[in-house]
A and B are shown apart, each in its own frame.
Chain A
């Protein structure tokens, strides 16, 4: 089955530094990937849609200059949290749809727990 690998699983960084999170589709190609953020006891909130070879589409209220997305290949999307602050601490999860259909289930990575100190 389709597997999405996300790395790192946990990261602790100091306030003001940048953190890069990678999301890879291991056995399928993903022209689109989605990035979510999840706070404790809350649902997944879509941050942005990553499109291979073009600019990402950001949801309202998400700062594109703070959350940089790069989708340079059909199997890799990266999210960089720039100048991280404690309020950016959260669980970040990526996903990619299965091939071919607009109603395909999403395949999720196992998330990245970001803690900004």
Chain B
């Protein structure tokens, strides 16, 4: 069965720095991978999708990379702000619109 590991349960960084979150997966070769943001007590919100034939995707201060050889995706937030504090989830596709979620990394940006 698929397994996803997100680098750490919690990550603290100083405001203005770049946050890098890691998502490693095994036992699967997804056609695409998605990243979501989840705030406490709320549902996840979609951020970015990256396909297996794409190396990198950007959206404003966000950047995602996808290395299918390493079976790894990196999620970067540049010029981080306290408002970026949240849990970030990576999710692998496992079929049409079906996603398998990682446990998430709780990011805290310290002012």
Residues of A within 8 A of B (CB): 4, 6, 32, 34, 41-46, 49, 91, 93, 95, 97, 102-111, 113
Partner of B97, one of A41, A43, A97: A97
**A106 with B49: CB separation less than 8 A:** no
**B42 with A110: CB separation less than 8 A:** yes
**A32 with B103: CB separation less than 8 A:** no
Interchain residue pairs with CB less than 8 A apart (13): A32-B97, A34-B98, A41-B103, A42-B103, A43-B102, A43-B103, A45-B101, A46-B99, A91-B41, A93-B44, A103-B31, A103-B49, A111-B41
A105 to B32, alpha carbons, bound, how many Å? 11
Contacts of A110 in B (CB 8 A): 41-43
**B42 with A106: CB separation less than 8 A:** no
Partner of B41, one of A34, A49, A95, A113: A113
Least Cβ–Cβ distance between A28 and chain B, in angstroms: 14
Contacts of B31 in A (CB 8 A): 103
A17 to B99, alpha carbons, bound, how many Å? 31
Contacts of A45 in B (CB 8 A): 101
Contacts of A104 in B (CB 8 A): 97
Contact with A along B24-68 (1 / 0, CB 8 A): 000000011010000001111110010100000000000000000
**A105 with B46: CB separation less than 8 A:** yes
- Asked whether any CB of chain A lies closer than 8 Å to the CB of B93, the reply is yes
**B43 with A95: CB separation less than 8 A:** yes
Nearest 7 CB-CB pairings of A with B: A108-B43, A105-B46, A102-B96, A97-B97, A43-B103, A43-B101, A44-B101
- Asked whether any CB of chain A lies closer than 8 Å to the CB of B89, the reply is yes
Q: Decide: A109 near B43, CB < 8 A? Known: A44-B101, A46-B98, A103-B32.
A: yes
Contacts of A102 in B (CB 8 A): 96-97
A105 to B51, alpha carbons, bound, how many Å? 12
Contacts of A34 in B (CB 8 A): 97-98
Partner of A43, one of B43, B93, B104: B104
Contacts of A95 in B (CB 8 A): 43
**A106 with B97: CB separation less than 8 A:** yes
